[in-house]
Amino acid sequence: MAQKLALPVKLPELETVEKQLEEIINETQGPAGEICSYMLRAGGKRLRPTLVLLSARCFADTAPPQAVTAAVAAELIHLASLIHDDIIDNAGSRHSKPSVNSRWGNKIAVLAGDNLFAKAFGLLSKSKLYNVLELMVEAIEDMCSGEIEQALDSFNAEQKEENYYRTISKKTGKLIAVCCQSGSLSSQAGEEHSLALREYGMNLGYAFQIADDILDFTGKVNVLGKPTGLDLAQGTLTLPMLNLLKNSRYSAWVKKVLQDKQFNETTRQAVVDALLESGALEEAKAVALAFSQSARSCLCKVPANIYRDTLEQLALTAVERHK
């Protein structure tokens, strides 16, 4: 069962989303059904479905069925992307349990992820939510493009900050953005409102991902439920490392670390110490806070109610979370 977000408002539609997710997964027979069920029950906060529903409730007393369907599809897409991410990162665990790829192997894991994508597309198509389907496809295209760009920049100490921001906008920001936009569209919100929520979601995605990149260095495995230090081991330079590379005291050393590609626990701890001493982590957190503020500013165009307030709170807690 999902470890839900702590919200100041009740969203009974989330229970409907959970039931529909289980029904869709249970329809899948054989090994594919077993794997998808394992992933569904592994945990997760259901952030993306929550954003769809909250965005819908900003404009309606209850979230319409279209919003629930969009929320279910968004979570299926997210689960699929997590499976593929773990394959790319060679991650052994997810939510403190063996990852799909470590338990069934990469080939089976790829197909299981594809199966979840197909279920999301089928659900949206069957429900004739073609506008949401178009948005979700756009997000998946960007996720794939972002993964490719990130892979091509592995261990590249000369990459620019703009590359990093472009990559996280594609890998994280776009899906969160279209979740918010899809929710508002399901409640017949006007274009100005739906675009404001899309922009809110993109900024929230930036804040969330930068905070996640900080936690990759400072978090604890038993709290995060997944290995730490994966970004560095994969040669992925996130904002904390890009900040450290700009520091004249550490720049040459960091480039040597990247060149040697010897990432044991000693090296990881040395990098964490350098990030702390240089202020690179605090700089990254300040950027995350700025994106959080930008997200909240986007909400000024949305009608004032408790659901908008909850979206604002999510923007605040995205940066302060510990997992």
Indicate whether 106 belongs to any domain.
yes
Indicate whether 2 belongs to any domain.
no
- Give the CATH number of the domain where residue 129 resides: 1.10.600.10
Burial (Cβ within 10 Å: 0-12, 13-18, ≥19) of residue 152: exposed
Tell me the β-bridge partners of 94: 97
User: Does 179 have pLDDT greater than 90?
Assistant: yes
Indicate whether 140 belongs to any domain.
yes
Indicate whether 5 belongs to any domain.
no
Output phi, psi for 116, to 5 deg: -70, -40
CA distances for 188 relative to 9, 175, 276, angstroms: 22, 20, 47
User: Does 213 have pLDDT greater than 50?
Assistant: yes
Indicate whether 70 belongs to any domain.
yes
Q: Using CA atoms, how far apart are residues 239 and 280, in angstroms rounded to an integer?
A: 8
Rounded to 10 deg, the angle between the 174-186 and 191-218 helix axes is 150
Per the structure, the complete domain to which residue 43 belongs is given by 13-320
Indicate whether 217 belongs to any domain.
yes
Number of domains in the chain: 1
DSSP 304: P
CA-based nearest residue to 86, from 139, 35, 162: 35
Quick one: CA torsion of 150, 241, 255, 219, rounded to 10 degrees? -100
Indicate whether 7 belongs to any domain.
no
Q: pLDDT tens-digit profile of 14-59? A: 999 999 999 999 888 788 888 888 888 887 889 999 999 999 999 9
Indicate whether 311 belongs to any domain.
yes
**Residue 98's pLDDT band (cuts 50, 70, 90):** confident
